[in-house]
Each structure stands twice: as structure tokens, then as C-alpha cells.
């Protein structure tokens, strides 16, 4: 692997190690932005070309931009990824005792294959909001001296009945409960963390796999990590924006990233992309640039924008050829994959990017020497999935899904090609840096 690629991937792995939840991804991203000279938009003075700002929402969804020479009303180049990942959330009243064991009762977040989450070291992260307005940040399971947590499974000697079930029924969602200890742990929570049992009513606590990313294979060509979906694309966009910010001179168009929450459960809620967060962020930029931010100005800017929906796709797995779209599957090591449309069959529910936009992207990616590929999400009628693309396409802008291929997506440990991670970053950077003429569509 090229030295430059290795350096990039090392930075990505460090980010992933920090960013085990959407809130932590937000905090880690803000730290990187601030280090690169970005300032919070709230309270900023009048913006001009080259200025670097960020704004956030609920500590979960983040928007950052470098103001372009033509101003934000001319339209924005956006790379949008999500930082939430499938996991198990603690219920509002999570603690219960059964037999000799104390458990955390959990509720699934995002699409998981339940059996994959059994008998693994797990970590507990999150925020407890107390009645007095203070917050307690919880992070247990990743420091070497920390304990971890685990969901137990039946031993094979007595597992015949379970083994005869359909895989999806082998463990019930309501049984995906995590061992919290033997005996009462309420006192421990109070003494060590200052958390009363009732404080758990106003908490967001997440169970995620414990452990840092690891290289995989003798050639170290792959990276195993929790949360590649979609921190691999979110980080690639963030790093590309930071590069643009550090380059000489302001970019032609305003360049922006959005690192959003709630994609895995349909982009709903205030911090999901079905909210007004993105429009509001564009309106804020125009307003801070000294424009009126009239409704029509914001609409025009949104309509003139272009977006890469930065989300992962399913890499072809030779052991599961039935999931492949024959000849159109995305392949590991061939770079980020452009997905013109998703939709389980007959393109239902898909954002179907227009050919002219793809042609413009081909032009800039090939000129920049980026390794990339074109594909479909998977075989028709076999399943499917969605991204944030359709929520952005609603504004009339050109959007296409374009992200890193993964093996075993949504598993506790997902696999990505290290070179693909790097080329994803290079692709987003080429998009940001392209001249207005290169991305002009007549
Ligand atoms: Mn995703
Ligand atoms: Mn996903």
C-alpha cells in the first residue's frame, strides 16, 4: 500500500477508535475541524470566501463548510454520510435480575443479524442527562483496564432445539440482553458514576462491540472495524473538506459535509436527514454571507447544489454469489462504488441519479486518477436498502450514492479494503476541488 494511503487509513482508524457512537463521532469530528481552523457558525461574523465553519444539532448531526468564491447562493458541493451504526440501545428501565445474573435490557437499533451479537466482548457508551441539567458521559469497555459486557448463548450440548430453529428465530430480540454483573449493580453505578437508577430514564446508552479496528490478512489489505457503515464515508468526506480548507485559495463553490444521525432507522427524527437541518444550514450560510436568505434564495441554492451521498455499499462476497447483481456487483479493492439507484426491485423508492451528473463525475474522477467503480447495490428481488440520497434529492439537487464497498455490512465487525478507504477520500476531494466548469451540466 502506498505510504500516503497508509497514513490516511491510520488517521481513519484513530477516528473510529474514538467514534464508537454518533455523539462521539460528532465530538471527534468537531475536534478535527477546530484543529483545522473551522469555527462554530453560531456567533460568527460576516462570512467571506475561504472561511471555515461548522454547526451542529443535538450533538449528533454535524454540518461543516468552506465558503466558495461564488458564494453559497450559487449552490453547494455536498458530501453527506452518517455516523450512527447498528447497535443495541439500553431501554429506559434497563436493569433487571434473572436467576443469579443482572442484565441490561436492550432494544435493537438498525438492521442486525441477532446471532452475530452473541458471545462477543461489548462496550457501553452514552450520555446520561440528569434532572439538574448536568450530563454524565459513560464509556466502559475499550480501555485496557475496563470490564466488558456480553450476551450469553446456550452451550452446544443443550442447544439442539435452538439449532433446529430458523437462524432469525435462534434468539429473540427481547432476549438480546447484556450481562451487567452478578448481583446488584445499582450501587456501583451511583458510587462510580454518580448515576441514580432514575437517571437512566433520561439516558442514551448504547451497547457496541468492544475493541479497536484491526488489520486483516497477511497483506493487511483489509480493515476490520465496528461502524465502517458509515463512518468510513463520513470520515472520508470530513478529511476531504479539511484538505480543501487547507489548500491555497478558496474553492470555486462552497464545499460542505454533513455527518448525520438516524440513517439506520430511516433518517427520521430531528437529527435525521428527513428534518430541516440541511436547509437551515444553507439558509444560515447565506444569511451570514450578508445575503437576505430569502426563502427563494435558499431554494435556488439547494436546487443548484450537487451531492455525493456518501454511504457504503455491499461488496461481492464469493461465498454468497446469489446476492450479486451479475456483472454489476461492487468489488473489494476496486475503489468506491457509484450506485445510480437503490431500491429492492424495479427501483422502488430509489433516487435514480441522472446520466449527465454521472458523466460529469466520471470526467473529474478520471482526470484526478481516482480508482472507482460503478455498480448496483445487489441482485434484484433479493433485498435492498436505502440511504440519505432521496432526502436530499427532494430539494432538486443532483445526488448519487457513492461510497466504500464492505463485506459483512452491519455485522459487529465489518470489513473494508484499506485502499478503498483511501480512494473514497480521494474521490470526495476531487469532487470538492473540481472547477465549476467541470461539474457544469447543460
Ligand atoms: Mn449506511
Ligand atoms: Mn447501514
Query: Does residue 215 lie in a domain region?
Result: no
- Residue at a domain's end among 184, 209, 234: 209
Residue 250 Cα to ligand 2 middle (Å): 34
Q: Over range 310-316, report the average pLDDT.
A: 97
Tell me the pLDDT band of 147, cut-offs 50, 70 and 90: very high
Query: Does residue 198 lie in a domain region?
Result: yes
pLDDT at 256: 98
Question: How many domains is the chain built from?
Answer: 2
* Residues 281 and 203 grouped into a single domain: no
Residue 125 Cα to ligand 1 middle (Å): 20
More reliable by pLDDT, 344 or 393: 393
pLDDT of residue 93 exceeding 80? yes
Query: Does residue 214 lie in a domain region?
Result: no
Residue 190 Cα to ligand 1 middle (Å): 36
Query: Does residue 216 lie in a domain region?
Result: no
Average pLDDT, the chain: 95
pLDDT in tens, 184-195: 899 999 998 899
* Residues 119 and 135 grouped into a single domain: yes
* Residues 261 and 361 grouped into a single domain: yes
pLDDT in tens, 347-367: 888 889 999 999 999 999 999
Tell me the pLDDT band of 325, cut-offs 50, 70 and 90: confident
pLDDT of residue 291 exceeding 80? no
Residue 435 Cα to ligand 2 middle (Å): 32
Check which CATH number belongs to the domain holding 282 and give it. Answer: 3.40.630.10
Ordered alpha helix ranges (H), 129-276: 160-163, 186-193, 228-246
More reliable by pLDDT, 244 or 326: 244
* Residues 81 and 91 grouped into a single domain: no
Distances in Å between the Cα of 250 and the Cα atoms of 127, 254, 301 are 38, 9, 18
* Residues 72 and 131 grouped into a single domain: no
Residue 156 Cα to ligand 1 middle (Å): 34
**Percentage above 90 pLDDT, the chain:** 90
pLDDT in tens, 9-53: 999 999 999 999 999 999 999 999 999 999 999 989 999 999 999
- Asked if 401 and 361 count as a contact pair (C-beta separation under 8 A), the reply is no
Q: Over range 380-403, report the average pLDDT.
A: 91
Residue 354 Cα to ligand 1 middle (Å): 22
* Residues 44 and 180 grouped into a single domain: no
* Residues 104 and 162 grouped into a single domain: yes
Residue 288 Cα to ligand 2 middle (Å): 34
Residue 85 Cα to ligand 2 middle (Å): 7
pLDDT of residue 239 exceeding 90? yes
Residue 81 Cα to ligand 1 middle (Å): 8
* Residues 280 and 166 grouped into a single domain: no
* Residues 301 and 419 grouped into a single domain: yes
* Residues 50 and 192 grouped into a single domain: no
* Residues 73 and 99 grouped into a single domain: no
| Domain range enclosing 430 | 3-85+226-439
pLDDT of residue 343 exceeding 80? no
Check which CATH number belongs to the domain holding 165 and give it. Answer: 2.30.250.10
**CB-based contacts of 54, cutoff 8 Å, min separation 6:** 30, 33, 38, 39, 40, 41, 62, 63, 64, 65
Query: Does residue 265 lie in a domain region?
Result: yes
Amino acid at each position: 500500500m502506498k505510504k500516503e494511503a497508509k497514513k490516511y487509513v491510520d488517521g481513519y482508524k484513530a477516528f473510529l477508535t474514538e467514534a464508537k457512537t454518533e455523539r462521539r463521532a460528532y465530538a471527534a469530528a468537531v475536534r478535527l475541524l477546530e484543529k483545522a481552523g473551522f469555527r462554530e457558525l453560531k456567533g460568527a461574523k460576516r462570512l467571506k470566501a475561504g472561511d471555515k465553519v461548522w454547526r451542529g444539532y443535538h450533538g449528533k448531526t454535524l454540518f461543516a463548510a468552506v465558503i466558495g468564491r461564488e458564494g453559497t447562493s450559487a449552490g453547494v458541493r455536498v458530501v453527506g454520510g452518517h455516523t450512527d451504526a447498528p447497535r443495541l440501545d439500553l431501554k429506559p428501565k434497563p436493569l433487571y435480575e434473572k436467576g443469579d445474573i443482572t442484565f441490561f435490557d436492550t432494544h435493537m437499533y438498525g438492521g442486525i443479524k441477532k446471532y452475530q451479537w452473541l458471545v462477543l466482548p461489548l462496550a457501553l457508551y452514552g450520555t446520561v442527562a440528569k434532572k439538574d441539567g448536568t450530563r454524565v458521559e459513560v464509556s466502559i469497555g475499550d480501555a485496557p483496564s475496563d470490564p466488558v459486557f456480553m450476551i450469553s448463548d446456550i452451550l452446544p450440548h443443550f442447544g439442539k432445539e435452538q439449532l433446529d430453529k430458523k437462524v432469525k428465530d435462534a434468539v429473540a430480540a427481547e432476549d438480546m440482553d447484556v450481562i451487567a454483573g452478578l448481583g446488584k449493580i445499582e450501587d456501583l453505578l451511583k458510587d462510580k458514576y454518580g448515576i441514580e437508577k432514575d437517571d437512566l430514564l433520561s439516558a442514551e446508552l448504547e451497547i457496541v462491540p468492544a475493541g479497536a479496528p484491526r488489520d486483516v490478512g497477511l497483506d493487511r489489505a483489509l480493515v476490520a472495524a465496528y461502524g465502517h457503515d458509515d463512518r468510513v464515508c463520513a470520515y472520508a468526506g470530513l478529511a476531504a473538506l479539511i484538505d480543501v480548507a487547507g489548500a491555497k485559495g478558496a474553492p470555486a463553490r462552497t464545499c460542505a459535509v454533513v455527518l448525520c444521525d438516524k440513517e439506520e432507522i430511516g433518517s427520521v427524527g430531528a437529527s435525521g436527514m428527513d428534518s430541516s437541518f440541511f436547509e437551515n444550514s444553507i439558509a444560515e450560510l447565506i444569511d451570514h454571507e450578508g445575503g437576505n436568505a430569502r426563502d427563494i434564495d435558499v431554494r435556488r441554492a439547494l436546487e443548484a447544489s450537487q451531492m455525493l451521498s456518501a454511504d457504503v455499499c455491499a461488496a461481492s462476497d464469493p461465498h454468497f454469489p446469489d446476492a450479486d447483481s451479475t456483472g454489476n456487483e461492487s468489488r473489494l479493492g476496486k475503489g468506491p462504488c457509484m450506485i445510480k439507484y437503490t431500491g429492492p426491485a424495479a427501483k422502488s423508492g430509489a433516487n435514480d441519479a441522472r446520466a449527465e451528473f454521472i458523466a460529469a463525475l466520471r470526467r473529474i474522477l478520471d482526470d484526478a486518477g481516482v480508482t472507482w467503480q460503478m455498480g448496483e447495490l445487489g441482485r434484484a428481488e433479493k433485498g435492498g436498502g436505502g440511504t440519505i440520497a432521496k432526502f436530499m434529492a427532494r430539494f432538486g439537487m443532483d445526488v448519487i450514492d457513492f461510497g466504500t464497498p464492505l463485506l459483512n455490512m452491519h455485522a459487529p465487525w465489518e470489513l473494508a479494503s484499506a485502499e478503498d478507504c483511501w480512494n473514497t477520500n480521494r474521490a470526495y476531494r476531487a469532487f470538492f476541488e473540481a472547477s465549476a466548469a467541470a461539474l457544469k451540466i447543460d
